[in-house]
Amino acid sequence: MKLSVMLNGVEDSIEILSPAPACRFRTGGGDERQAHVEVPEPGVYSVLLDGRSYDARVEEHPGGGVVVVIDGYRFEIDVHDPRRWTRKSGGRGDAGIQRIIAPMPGKVVRVLISPGDPVEAGQGLVVVEAMKMQNELKATRPGKVITVPAKEGATVAAGEILATIE
């Protein structure tokens, strides 16, 4: 899977050759690299890369994208998957419906919201387990829950809508 990435305002690309925990990837069309990635707690990634260990703290940014902090260094990252269809052709906006989508196949282990609930930016919505790791999917902006098709215990496919927020 090849993704376009904006890293602190600089455009680049990353090609994911195999997912975590034994992640293989290539950046900017360069050589293949390998990293071992674990998620000891939601929002924290333990990465072993080139013989060095890093703890990366990841938070979703209310304006879209994520902020990653590694050893005190802050990185603002916006990832664009060219295969994913979007109505917003000119970039991200704060208006419209937010769709919470399963990032990979997995199992829904917790649903933290119900239709009609108000949500805040960064609030946990659904927890999906994939490859023995639990991923809490969060709201990127405030809103009101419209639908929650995700059901605890259900198996979901990558790209499946788990919730919608207006």
Find out whether 130 and 63 touch, Cβ atoms under 8 Å. no
pTM over 0.75: no
pLDDT tens per residue across span 26-56: 988 789 999 999 988 888 999 999 999 999 9
CB burial of 103-130 (b: ≥16 within 10 Å; e: otherwise) equals beebebeebbbeeeeebeeebebbbbeb
25, pLDDT greater than 80: yes
Q: How far apart are CA 136 and CA 82, in angstroms?
A: 24
Burial of 148 (0-12, 13-18, 19+ CB in 10 A): buried
pLDDT band at 166 (very low <50, low <70, confident <90, very high): confident
Domains of the chain: residue spans and CATH: 2-80 (3.30.700.30), 98-165 (2.40.50.100)
E strand map for the chain: 2-7, 10-18, 22-27, 33-41, 44-49, 52-60, 66-70, 73-80, 98-101, 106-111, 118-119, 124-130, 133-138, 143-147, 155-156, 161-165
Give pLDDT, residue 63: 63
